[in-house]
A and B are shown apart, each in its own frame.
Chain A
């Protein structure tokens, strides 16, 4: 019984060691976010990407902090995912089709019909 317990604990320990194996990394990416809606859109897009555990857009600095598993994705893939959602990500330009589909408030000021920073749907 005691042996079983020790064995079990060892197993649990090794499993927890193993679980740490795919290391997580944090990266900051500059994005062309404009408003609360963009924060929502980008975080939603990243939530469904493989390997990404967390993402937070900071609208003050227009950066997104992404926590990801190194074995499953890499910064390039993350930038491409953001671009596919319609936003520039560092040097990767936004997908033009996705960009034009964005709400007016999420577009860059020069492409907008009205100025209305802070529009919160």
Chain B
């Protein structure tokens, strides 16, 4: 069986993919089996079998791709994993790929006729060969939507602590504190707040609504297997919400993780953390389960800038997850589980007082308790006998409760949420034409009260969607998607999105996207920073839905430096144009925030260049530069958005000795100045001009691997740069002028940490 123009790099669609729900999977799914032409001449042949090794049993991988490296000539394995392939003269490199598994490249010896290939499961890394050392991050060359993947190797470079700390060596996503008291962190993509990007865990929306402020800190770093970051419009399959991009975190899979894992972490500022996982595979690898646990706390009271406020709140978090995976090969696959979270934070004027005493004495205190339970199930069915046809069902239920005090403000909120998505996929005539269609329903019941004012509401959004993927060959793919949703308050709205990917040359990939996105804001939950101020909240009108177009273009060039080292260059440009936006106007006066619908222009232009290179064996270098131009009309005038930096630079170096016995990582960031809010005399009083200063941040880490465990130590914020006077009017926190929400830089100074990881495979 020889296939001409076999789409070598594109794995076969399977149920597996659906469950993993990679965003571009609908595209990757395309390539099943093309026309089979019998060999015309009897040539020298290579035969063998493609299997997976599970507990010493060889499980055949049917319909796996096998092809000659650098060519499109190949074949697929049969039901028992066997394949026969004709030799191509001068080519002795065989590549095997299978969806959900890592590619394998095999060098054949001259005259070798039989080969046995084992593939290892791996979710996102289908396009990477198994190597001794895995790059910390890479740009996927297969996916039609440009996707940066942060691998588990990249995640371990950042020893602490959760998703909010996972982007320090990534130029695409900016992370900063949203205020100087609560410890809440916010991300930015394309210079716009994180709420405009969709945050998902295994393609289930994660931080919608009340989870927005602290959601990033609810995902422990060690639970994650990888993070995929894609800028611009994403697939309509996952909903209408992403405007600037999508971040998807994949957790470790029960069937594929260490039997036992323990991670201990501590730093000199009094943060302690314990992560532990255990997994068990039941009979025949059909059923497996895992328990993941995270316990952490901030136990030390630190006030480096001596403003009487804790630099970060005292905190305790317990986070538990039980995951299950069921698989009946070729028929159905299911993943379900439950997550619990308890999170408690006490911050403010607590240097010498317990929380209760401080409140009794009239100090400024924030006191928050969050409880969260999430249930989810993802099940897929394969229609045997119908090529490329499957049905995926996703359900998730959420209970989120936050009871809190912000100084003189009480804020109590509960969210009951349900999310359901059913996706059908099939092909029209042949795998070059694949379509998806489905229905979804999002339901959220918010009971939200701030200082006796209720913001309670119910949102119910049923929707339908369809997506068509055309990929005649491996060089071109086009995705056109459309969805219609009906919001119980804002009515019906439509979301068109298109993507394309063209391999202009063998190693040059051009991608583009255009699409619409919508969202309904949860003003209070998404902007806790504004609760930590004496600013009055002035709601000028009822909000309408936020609505924006996003257009993007990017090009990626790969240059081989050596056999296993590449230089990857990429450049991209994205523009976001708001049709409507809820504006939080902090420029009018220091004593209020005016909140109203956009009247005029609001846009963001973001340009980024990246160079990643394996300079010599074991050494990787990343250089990146990003430029943001973000403007919005406030009070009739188009202005640069406050607290958004125009320039950012990044340098990241990583060196590992053989077998990663020693690993050294260093990341340096340049963060440009940001415009400060207008009409704030307090800023001038503490020495600020119109702009905040620019600054550098340096992170470094050393890891030493031993036979059974790893030990690591590192420093964050090596240059010890901190934002001065982060809390304006700290001496009179209940008076007009108090404001802890003007954040542009780091709050915490140099921090030293150490920890260890122990695993039983």
Contact = CB atoms under 8 A, between A and B. Distances in A.
B690 to A, nearest CB: 55
B593 to A, nearest CB: 57
Interface string B234-250: 00000000000000000
Contact of A105 (B116, B130, B659): B116
Interface stretch (A18-26, A61-69, A110-118): A110-118
A104 to B, nearest CB: 5
Nearest to A118: B109
Given A44-B659, A104-B58, A119 B49 contact: no
A119 B48 CA distance: 12
Given A47-B658, A47-B661, A100-B56, A114 B706 contact: no
A15 interface: no
A9 interface: no
A105 B107 CA distance: 13
A2 interface: no
A115 B114 CA distance: 6
Contacts of A101: 56
Contact of B118 (A44, A48, A104, A120): A104
Interface residues of B, number: 24
B116 A114 contact: yes
B119 to A, nearest CB: 10
A47 B116 contact: no
A116 B661 contact: no
Interface in B99-152: 104, 106-109, 112, 114-118, 130, 132
B56 A120 contact: no
For the residues of A in contact with B, the DSSP-based class is loop
Given A113-B49, A121-B104, A48 B115 contact: no
B53 interface: yes
Contact of A119 (B56, B58, B115, B706): B115
A105 to B, nearest CB: 7
Contacts of B114: 114-116
Given A114-B115, A121-B130, A47 B107 contact: no
A25 B118 CA distance: 38
Given A48-B659, A49-B707, A121-B104, A116 B115 contact: yes
A113 B49 CA distance: 10
A2 to B, nearest CB: 38
Nearest to A36: B107
Contacts of A104: 53, 58, 116, 118
Given A48-B661, A48-B706, A121-B106, A116 B56 contact: no
Contact of B49 (A47, A105, A114, A117): A114
B118 A47 contact: no
B107 A118 contact: yes
Contact of A120 (B106, B132, B658, B706): B106
Given A113-B116, A114-B49, A121-B104, A48 B705 contact: yes
Contacts of A43: 659
Contacts of A119: 106, 115-117
A100 B58 CA distance: 12
For the residues of B in contact with A, the DSSP-based class is strand
Contact of B48 (A103, A112, A116, A120): A116
A105 B109 CA distance: 14
Contacts of A118: 107-109, 112
A104 B52 CA distance: 11
A120 B132 CA distance: 12
Interface in A81-119: 100-101, 103-105, 112-119
Contacts of B56: 100-101
A100 B56 CA distance: 7
A36 B107 CA distance: 11
Contacts of B58: 104, 113
Contacts of A116: 48, 112, 114-116
Interface string B215-249: 00000000000000000000000000000000000
Interface in B679-731: 705-707
B707 A48 contact: yes
A51 to B, nearest CB: 12
Contacts of A40: 132
Contacts of B118: 103-104, 121
Contacts of B130: 121
Given A47-B658, A48-B705, A104-B118, A117 B109 contact: yes
A65 to B, nearest CB: 16
Contacts of B116: 104-105, 112-114, 116, 119
Contacts of B705: 48
A77 to B, nearest CB: 13
A114 B48 contact: yes
A54 B76 CA distance: 42
Given A47-B659, A113-B58, A120 B53 contact: no
Nearest to A46: B659
A49 B117 CA distance: 30
Contacts of A105: 116
A118 B110 CA distance: 10
A114 B82 CA distance: 11
Nearest to B110: A118
A118 B107 CA distance: 7
Contacts of B53: 103-104
A115 B46 CA distance: 12
B704 to A, nearest CB: 10
A116 B49 CA distance: 11
Kindly name the residue among B58, B104, B108, B116 whose own CB sees the greatest number of chain A CB atoms within 10 A: B116
Contacts of A114: 48-49, 114-116
A44 to B, nearest CB: 5
Contacts of B104: 121
Interface string A1-24: 000000000000000000000000
Interface in B76-108: 104, 106-108
B126 to A, nearest CB: 16
A60 to B, nearest CB: 14
Nearest to A45: B707
Contacts of B661: 47-48
A101 B118 CA distance: 13
Interface in B638-661: 658-659, 661
A118 B707 CA distance: 28
Contacts of A48: 659, 661, 705-707
A101 B55 CA distance: 7
Contacts of B707: 48-49
Contacts of B48: 114, 116
A105 B48 CA distance: 12
A31 B445 CA distance: 66
Please list the 6 inter-chain residue pairs (A to B) with the smallest Cβ-Cβ separation, ordered nearest first. A118-B109, A114-B116, A48-B707, A116-B115, A120-B107, A47-B659
9 contacts: A43-B659, A48-B706, A49-B707, A104-B116, A112-B116, A114-B48, A116-B115, A117-B109, A120-B106
Given A43-B659, A48-B661, 17 more contacts: A48-B659, A48-B706, A49-B707, A103-B53, A104-B53, A113-B49, A113-B58, A116-B112, A116-B115, A116-B116, A117-B112, A118-B107, A118-B108, A119-B115, A119-B116, A121-B106, A121-B130
Interface of B: 48-49, 53, 56, 58, 104, 106-109, 112, 114-118, 130, 132, 658-659, 661, 705-707
